[in-house]
């Protein structure tokens, strides 16, 4: 990100010290669009950073396995590709598909690497130490429905020890612009957000639901440099994707 030195510190998140701009969801999408059209691997960058951070967080987790909650959007794809990288490195990975139409390439990569596709009952397994919340994305604000709601209810009912939840880009169900979210939005222990901080992470319920925020620079800086931010955020770290 312009004006902010990227760091490769993947240790436990610290209270936010770096001040960075926060943007409207539409501006993030507009910054991504020409890069995606040119074939820039934004998802691969995001997923690799997510896998690296998740691997580091496993050291302090309550169990050795990682559970991926994957929806049908790009955040689900990020989580699935991260799960594939973790599984290929020897981590036990389980995948719960919370909606139809999961990211096909991400799911295939995860399964090929050794991840298991399971149902929500896996949430009660004591070996689950980390959960990647990739259920919804930038368009996922509003009341949780269907399989996403079922997963959120199951998360709330999860017996101790409670796994740590890493939100993929933003907590599922949190409005990316206003920070609004119903009572079932999973409370993240940390949010790994990509490209630019979404305004909803610092507005409304965002700060309460997101935990410390780590920003992954995936290459949107030049496009966002011409955009007027809508808020300011404090993040724990900025890392390269």
Average confidence (pLDDT) over 195-220 = 97
Residue that the structure tokens 């929806």 belong to: 71
219, 36 Cβ separation under 8 angstroms = no
pLDDT at 162 over 80: yes
Q: Which residues of 48-79 are buried (b: 16+ CB within 10 A; e: fewer)?
A: bbbbbbbbebbeebebebbbbbbbbbbbbbbb
Q: What is the pLDDT of residue 157?
A: 87
pLDDT at 15: 53
The answer on whether 77 is annotated among ligand-binding residues is yes
71 is in an annotated binding site: no
Is 141 annotated as contributing to ligand binding?
A: yes
Q: Which of 169, 213, 221 is nearest to 46 (CA)?
A: 169
Is the confidence at residue 7, as pLDDT, over 70?
Answer: no
Q: What is the mean pLDDT of residues 160-168?
A: 90
Question: What is 18-240's CATH number?
Answer: 3.40.50.10260
Domain ranges of the chain: 18-240
pLDDT at 52 over 50: yes
| Cβ pair 164, 61 in contact under 8 A | yes
Q: What is the pLDDT of residues 69-126, one digit of tens each?
A: 999 989 999 999 999 999 999 999 999 999 988 999 999 999 999 999 999 988 888 8
Share of residues in the chain with pLDDT > 90 (%) = 78
State the chain's mean pLDDT as an integer.
91
pLDDT in tens, 169-193: 999 999 999 999 999 999 999 999 9
Report the pLDDT averaged over residues 21-44.
Answer: 97
Q: Is residue 172 a known part of a binding site?
A: yes
Annotated binding residue at 182? no
140 is in an annotated binding site: yes
Task: Determine if residue 124 is labeled as part of a ligand binding site.
Answer: no
Beta-strand relationship, 231-235 and 18-23: antiparallel
The answer to whether 146 is a known ligand-binding residue is no
Looking at residue 153, its pLDDT comes to 94
76 is in an annotated binding site: yes
Tell me if 133 is assigned to a ligand binding site.
Answer: yes
Q: Is 94 assigned to a binding site?
A: no
Per-residue pLDDT, averaged over 212-235, amounts to 96
The DSSP annotation for 67-94 comes to EEEE-SSHHHHHHHHHHHHHHHTT--EE
120 is in an annotated binding site: no
Q: At 53, is the pLDDT very low, low, confident or very high (cuts 50, 70, 90)?
A: very high
Whole-number pLDDT of residue 16: 58
pLDDT band for 10, please (50, 70, 90 cuts): very low
Q: Is 9 exposed, middle or buried (0-12, 13-18, 19+ CB in 10 A)?
A: middle
Answer whether residue 4 shows pLDDT above 70: no
The rounded distance, in Å, linking the Cα atoms of 226 and 131 is 35
Q: 240: annotated binding-site residue? A: no
pLDDT at 12: 52
């Amino acid at each position: 990100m312009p004006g902010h030195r990227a760091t490769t510190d993947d240790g436990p998140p610290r209270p936010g010290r770096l001040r960075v701009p926060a943007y409207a969801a539409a501006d993030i999408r507009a910054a991504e669009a020409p890069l995606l059209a040119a074939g820039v691997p934004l998802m691969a960058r995001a997923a690799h950073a997510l896998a690296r951070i998740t691997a580091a967080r496993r050291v302090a987790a309550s169990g050795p396995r990682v559970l991926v909650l994957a929806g049908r959007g790009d955040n689900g794809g990020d989580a699935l590709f991260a799960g594939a990288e973790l599984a290929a490195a020897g981590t036990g990975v389980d995948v719960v598909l919370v909606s139809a139409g999961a990211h096909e390439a991400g799911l295939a990569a995860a399964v090929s690497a050794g991840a298991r596709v399971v149902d929500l009952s896996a949430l009660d397994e004591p070996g689950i130490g980390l959960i990647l919340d990739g259920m919804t994305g930038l368009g996922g604000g509003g009341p949780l429905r269907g399989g996403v709601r079922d997963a959120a209810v199951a998360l709330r009912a999860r017996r101790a020890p409670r796994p740590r939840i890493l939100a993929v880009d933003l907590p599922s169900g949190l409005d990316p612009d206003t920070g609004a979210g119903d009572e079932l939005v999973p409370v993240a222990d940390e949010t790994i957000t990509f490209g630019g901080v979404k305004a909803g992470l610092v507005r409304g319920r965002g700060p309460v639901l997101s935990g410390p925020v780590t920003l992954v620079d995936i290459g949107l800086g030049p496009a966002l440099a011409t955009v007027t931010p809508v808020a300011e955020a404090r993040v724990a770290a900025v890392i390269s994707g």
